[in-house]
Amino acid sequence: MAEVILLKTRGLKRHFGGLKAVDGVDFTLRKGEIRAIIGPNGAGKSTFVSLLSGRIPPSEGTVEFDGQDVTALPAHRRVRLGIAYTFQITNIYPSMSVLENVAVAAQSRLRPSFLRKGASETEIEDAARAALAAVGLDDRLDEVAGVLAYGHQRLLEVAMGLALEPKLLILDEPTQGLSDSEIANFIEVVKRVAQSSTVLLIEHNMHVVMSLADRITVLERGRLLAEGSPAEIMNDKAVQAAYLGEPA
């Protein structure tokens, strides 16, 4: 079966004054894979995925998603096309319940316009419950989101992304601040998510990267340094010098 390209960039750049945060990246992501983006601090990883999601515009270059040029589209339009992006820090509604948080996301998908009839409240709640079950939070539906443990808040944010039923789920440092047991659970969550969505994650924890990634992209100083399987990246001399070989 032929591979399907879900997302690609050509000559993608983002400059902030004299800083070349992303400097001419050509990138291709296949449908159905789990791809990790790694690199030292300041490599341009978060800027790169912000360009993919539409949170910031490029200085040059193009972004194509699911066969459509989305370079000029803002973030909310890309969400409609199937790109969901979770942030480095939790982005939840702290005063609302767990179920209500995810229902907001589900409603934005199932009722995209106030001008036409959409899904019923029951359908929205069912979609929210399904997303919460996928991340293991279906026993915390009525809890206030803001009082959840940090690890559970991160899972809640993933559930909100899943409620959008994305073709592509982008996770920006999702295990930051999690305990070892929470990280182990998160790995299993992502494996389940990947059964229905393509996953792109920025991650510093190499155990997580090696446990999940089909392929790894390495950025350094805004440029693509290397790409390959986990084994290929671990044995790449340039990667070892730039990143993996850095002292802890």
Domains of the chain in start order, with CATH, are 1-82+169-248 (3.40.50.300), 96-165 (no CATH)
- Write the pLDDT tens digit of every residue in 63-99: 999 999 999 999 989 998 999 998 655 678 999 999 9
Calpha distance 65→246 (Å, rounded): 34
- For residue 233, pLDDT beyond 60: yes
115: pLDDT confidence band, cut at 50, 70 and 90?
A: very low
Percent of the chain with pLDDT over 70: 92
Calpha distance 68→65 (Å, rounded): 5
The set of residues, in sequence order, having a beta carbon less than 8 Å from that of 213 and lying 6+ positions away, is 34, 35, 36, 201, 230
pTM: 0.88
The one-character DSSP state at 6 is E
Nearest alpha carbon to residue 22 among 5, 7, 36, 39: 39
How much is the pLDDT for 2?
66
How much is the pLDDT for 109?
82
CB atoms within 10 A of CB 65: 24
Average pLDDT over residues 18-45: 95
How much is the pLDDT for 3?
82
Nearest alpha carbon to residue 175 among 198, 144, 207, 147: 207
Calpha distance 58→20 (Å, rounded): 11
**Where is average pLDDT lowest: 27-36, 55-64, 232-241?**
232-241
CA-to-CA separations, 74 to 5, 55, 109, in angstroms, rounded: 21, 7, 17
How much is the pLDDT for 90?
63
- Write the pLDDT tens digit of every residue in 148-189: 998 899 899 999 999 988 999 999 988 888 889 889 988 999
Q: Are strands 5-16 and 19-30 parallel, antiparallel or unpaired?
A: antiparallel
The three-class DSSP label of residue 217 is strand
Nearest alpha carbon to residue 175 among 229, 145, 211: 211
- For residue 238, pLDDT beyond 90: no
